[in-house]
Homo-oligomer: A and B are copies of this chain.
Amino acid sequence: MTTDPLVVFTPSGKRGRFAVGTPILTAARQLGVDLDSVCGGRGICSKCQITPSYGEFSKHGVTVKEDALSDWNKVEQRYKDKRGLKEGRRLGCQATVQADVVIDVPPESQVHKQVVRKRAEAREIILDPSTKLYYIEVAEPDMHDPSGDLERLRDALHAQWDLAEITADLHILQMMQPILRKGEWKVTVAVHLGDAENKPRIMNIWPGYYDGTVYGLAVDLGSTTIAAHLCDLQTGEVLASSGVMNPQIRFGEDLMSRVSYSMMNARGAEEMTSAVREGMNALFTQIATEAQIDKSLIVDAVFVCNPVMHHLLLGIDPFELGQAPFALATNNALRLRADDLGLNIHPSARIYMLPCIAGHVGADAAAVALSEAPDKSDDLVLVVDVGTNAEILLGNKDKVLACSSPTGPAFEGAQISSGQRAAPGAIERVEIDPATKAPRFKVIGSDMWSDEDGFNEMIAATGVTGICGSGIIEMVAEMRLNGIVDAPGLIGSAEQTGSDRCFQDGRTNSYLVYDGTASGGPLITITNRDIREIQMAKAALYSGARLLMDKFGVDKVDRVVLAGAFGAHISPKHAMVLGMIPDAPLDKVTSAGNAAGTGARIALLNTASRAEIEATVRAIHKVETAIEPRFQEHFVNASAIPNAVEPFPILNSIVTLPNQTFNTGGGGADDGSGGGRRRRRRA
């Protein structure tokens, strides 16, 4: 009695015995090995390429002889001659089992391949796209048994791919009949595989075998910029990334001013909806041009954004988001069609918008949660997406809490006397000499310190123009470290600090950073009012995080992840000196880059992650800072640098913070902030 040959697949390790003559693709399917195919085993698509391994495999207990696979048949040989095959590769649908064999499935032949990511610590993205291609042979019409072309096409998808209950958009019905005939009843279809609300749906159809692909967009709709990644849905690759300014900026720089615009202008919300959709369409045209693809092949898109952008994109007046109780029109994930939003991609492209967490914690925060996965973390992680409004997540495998905190635009350089957006010429790195109290700095666009030889020549094109967000954080932290600012946030006088860079400036003191006036440049100083702005912003951030720690019942966190483009540029040490973030080991403070954009890309490429993040968001415990009495208490404490009551032991083991006070008067000095300014919610 002979036994059938053994087939071992790597890397899965799946194995089974198959009759001589069984195609490798068939064996793979029976074992549930992830081996791709678009043409269904007809030797056309070559997606099922495999590499047989020969020799002795003691690990698998197999010896593979040279004749373990069948000889090249005509189909396989023709494919190789015409299109070429890498050395050692065979077509899994044509090569058949002859004897024991070890078959390696290379990553590009796996449907659920892993998408390459740059960050080692980041979660894997396993490709599992919404829309796939299928080659089918459709039965011809028969007058004796009349049925529609679509119905026979559906039958073919069922019989040849086990895809049931497939629907078709009207435009498919409109274009299908000539394509079926042109392809002589052989066609390739792109099928959206359905989701929680929609059945599987044919999105496109091509005569014969379609050697192309279909695309998806991961869109990060920010208040300032709209950024998108264009991805190949068959490979998961990012083909192009592009961004445009959000045209809504003309209605107001920050979110609250846009909400106000909609309140003050009868059709204001509609105008802003049109503007953002136009901007989006301009971006899509731009990215498709860049990648040289046809926009109508973009069949899926994932959007992440904050709640105000979310509502305005959808054409919902954000009125309610401007006032307590900050009621969202909907917090669930949305599944729409491109033409619902007037977008210029495939008209029935599926649009997926991630769920919002709360009235101030949007789909962007959900995307951060998807990317950074605090709900999968063993240690307790604080994830902070720093922006005009900071979204804060705290959690681990057991539970995740979320809140937002109105940091305001100070971290973006706004409301700072010499502040500016991050752009060439802006100071982004600062060190103050402990002895001379003189600063040295780097500006964006140059790697040299300002006290190095050749600095002025290096930056001649831009000059020194101001201080951006990360620069102001380092600046204030360095000032505190070097005794120029005290814990309550007062800049000392020249006398108090021993530095003539400190000078009286109205009723408070300022600190001179850079004097470019001799060469027609700016005079860059830090005023006490600047310090106050930073104090308020960082106190808002910290107190949000601290409130979540209270709710979680902890006094410290194991690690801190700074998300957002701004977060990528923050120096952990300086942020901690400032008391922006809780005390933690410096090497446990990392940057996640544009985690919201990454979350959008995960949701685009791995459809299973959509249900996952929806469940995660439902389980997140939402904390509304505006109605938590302890938030105010934390805020007051966090106004001190780094904090009036929190000890920061790890920070204190690294740096020594001067313990002096510059307040010499009674009853509190005028802090130059104009006094009594009320914090307002920036939705």
A54 at the interface (CB under 8 A from B): no
A315 at the interface (CB under 8 A from B): yes
A292 at the interface (CB under 8 A from B): no
A328→B197 contact, CB < 8 A? no
A673 at the interface (CB under 8 A from B): no
In the complex, what distance in Å separates the CA atom of A340 from the CA atom of B356?
A: 29
Annotate A260-291 by CB proximity to B: 1 below 8 A, 0 otherwise: 00000000000000000000000000000000
Secondary structure of the A contact surface, majority rule: loop
- Rounded to whole Å, the gap between the CB of A359 and the closest CB of chain B is 6
In the complex, what distance in Å separates the CA atom of A622 from the CA atom of B327?
A: 57
Q: Give residues 620-649 of A contacting B (CB, 8 Å).
A: 622, 624, 626-627
In the complex, what distance in Å separates the CA atom of A328 from the CA atom of B357?
A: 47
B316→A174 contact, CB < 8 A? yes
A657 at the interface (CB under 8 A from B): no
B146→A624 contact, CB < 8 A? yes
> What are the residues of chain B within 8 A of A174 when measuring CB–CB?
314-317, 329
Which interface residue of A150, A170, A327 has the most chain B CB atoms within 10 A? Answer: A327
A626→B316 contact, CB < 8 A? no
- Rounded to whole Å, the gap between the CB of A171 and the closest CB of chain B is 8
A328→B146 contact, CB < 8 A? yes
B320→A177 contact, CB < 8 A? yes
Of A27-35, A330-338, A379-387, A503-511, the stretch lying at the interface with chain B is A330-338
A150→B330 contact, CB < 8 A? yes
A149 at the interface (CB under 8 A from B): yes
B146→A177 contact, CB < 8 A? no
The closest CB in chain B to the CB of A625 belongs to B143
A329→B145 contact, CB < 8 A? no
Q: Do A170 and B329 contact each other (CB < 8 Å), given the known contacts A146-B359, A199-B197?
A: no
A329→B148 contact, CB < 8 A? yes
> What are the residues of chain B within 8 A of A340 when measuring CB–CB?
170
> What are the residues of chain B within 8 A of A325 when measuring CB–CB?
140-143, 146
The closest CB in chain B to the CB of A270 belongs to B174
- Rounded to whole Å, the gap between the CB of A267 and the closest CB of chain B is 13
In the complex, what distance in Å separates the CA atom of A657 from the CA atom of B672?
A: 117
Can you identify 7 A-B contacts, CB atoms within 8 angstroms? A142-B325, A146-B327, A146-B624, A148-B356, A149-B329, A173-B329, A178-B319
Q: Which 5 A-B pairs have the closest CB atoms?
A: A141-B327, A146-B358, A148-B330, A148-B331, A150-B330
Residues of chain A touching chain B, judged by Cβ–Cβ distance below 8 Å, are 140-151, 167-168, 170, 173-174, 176-178, 197, 199, 314-317, 319-320, 324-332, 336, 340-341, 356-359, 622, 624, 626-627
